[in-house]
Amino acid sequence: MEQVMRNALLYMAKNRQANELARRYGLRFGAQRFVAGQTLSEAIKSVQTLNKQNLLVTLDHLGESVFTAEEAELSADACVSALTAIAEHGIRSNLSIKLTQLGMDLSRDLCVNNVRRILDEAKKHRNFVRIDMEDYAHNEATIALFKEMHEIYGNTVGLVIQSYLYKSKEDITHLGALDVNLRIVKGAYKEEASVAYPVKADVDKNYVTLVQQHLSAGHYTAIATHDDAIIDQMKHFISEHHIANDRFEFQMLYGIRTQLQQQLASEGYRVRIYVPYGDDWYAYFMRRLAERPANVAFVVKSMVHS
Ligand code: FDA
């Protein structure tokens, strides 16, 4: 039953009309729990609050799969503005971006130009930009574009690898040779069993393998999960292998396991929160519901009270 609900939510995440409606009506149905606000200034306030709690941030200007070059350019403008605002406010945040938001499905050149504008701004402020990983259909193209950018910008740019994909172990070995900064996640999209582990226990097991592989090789690793058991296992691994605190960070999503976020920070670990903001919150929100269908009860409650 839970799997059916999960699949339905991931299917709904791709619905263009629902996305348009959501954009028009503003943050609703409890989306405020996962999204910091609709404007950059609201997002900056959230960063300031989190920074005060000793939590670092990666900002995400929400959006994916744009349909025109103009939309892609506006998204890039928003990312550049976010990096400028981070520098102006002196807050501790970097930026996460999605290539489909920057026109990847329309034209590779358009996308590269947009990414380069963002990376130029990041470099100017000695900041960092991470390319999120989207669905499997974009995986190879994302890795190829990342490698091209890494050659030019070095570790101003990082990437995400998903443990549900069979190919990720090989990708990490290959990317490790370039000493890249990777965020490792389990994976949030609906994928076929021909490309991704269908059983969660296998995804979890591969997650541990991938993080250990990248950490052991001495490359910077963002351990992005809310999974208690895995976090404990990683803490032991890090201590046993004497991995320095500045070689990794824990990452979690805004609004999820907030106590755990603070606990890790108080233990002296580097903890970074992924803070999404903007009008285009619908698909992101649907994926958060799909990860934990119990969240749907929370949506229903917020509908009753609105
Ligand atoms: P798991 O799903 O096993 O959850 C462990 C526990 O965490 C649950 O028992 C629950 O307590 C809590 N939890 C998890 N999700 C929750 C939710 N939605 N609501 C409430 N509680 C929840 N994916 C991707 O494909 N590409 C990407 O670029 C990114 N980027 C990214 C950045 C960061 C910082 C994080 C933390 C995650 C991502 N993800 C992602 C999402 C990732 O792939 C994955 O879907 C979620 O992190 C959920 O998996 P967990 O590792 O938390 O484990």
Averaged pLDDT, groups of 10, the chain, 306 residues long: 75 72 67 90 97 98 89 96 98 97 97 98 98 97 98 98 98 94 96 97 98 96 97 98 96 96 98 94 80 70 55
Give the pLDDT confidence score for residue 234 in this predicted structure.
98
The ligand 1 site (C-beta within 6 Å) comprises: 132-133, 160, 162, 185-189, 224-227, 251-253, 256-257, 274, 288, 291-292, 295
Q: Is 186 annotated as a binding residue?
A: yes
Give buried/exposed letters for 233-251 (b at 16+ CB in 10 A, else e): bbeebbeeeebeeeebbbb
Which of 62, 132, 190, 227 to mutate to test ligand 1, by most ligand atoms within 8 A of the CB atom?
227
Q: Are 250 and 271 in contact (CB under 8 A)?
A: yes
Residue 288 marked in a binding site: yes
Taking the centre of ligand 1 as the mean of its atom positions, its distance from the CA of residue 20, in whole angstroms, is 25
The atom of ligand 1 lying closest to the CA of 222 is 34
- Cβ within 8 Å of residue 80, ≥6 positions away: 117, 118, 121
Whether residue 9 contacts residue 286, with contact meaning beta carbons closer than 8 Å, is answered with yes
The confidence score (pLDDT) of residue 240 equals 97
Residues annotated as catalytic (active site), given as ranges: 132, 183
Identify the residue whose tokens are 């740019």: 157
Report the C-alpha gap between 174 and 168 in whole angstroms: 10
CA-based radius of gyration for the chain: 18
This model of the complex carries an ipTM of 0.98
Query: Is residue 14 part of an annotated ligand binding site?
Result: no
Query: Cα(163) to centroid of ligand 1, in Å?
Result: 12
**pLDDT at position 6:** 76
Buried-state track 91-101, b at ≥16 Cβ within 10 A, e below 16: bebbbbbbbbb
Contact 120, 90 (CB under 8 A): no
Q: Tell me, in angstroms, the distance from the centre of ligand 1 to residue 34's CA.
A: 12
- Which domains occur in the chain, in start order? 35-280 (3.20.20.220)
pTM value is: 0.93
Distance 291 CA to ligand 1 centre (A): 7
Cβ-contact 69, 103 below 8 angstroms: yes
Ligand 1 pocket test: which of 256, 272, 291, 299 has the largest number of ligand atoms within 8 Å of its C-beta?
291
d(CA 152, CA 75): 22
CA atoms within 13 A on the CB side of 256: 23
pLDDT at 287: 80
Pick the atom of ligand 1 nearest to 132's CA: 28
The torsion angles phi and psi of 182, rounded to 5 degrees, stand at: -115, 140
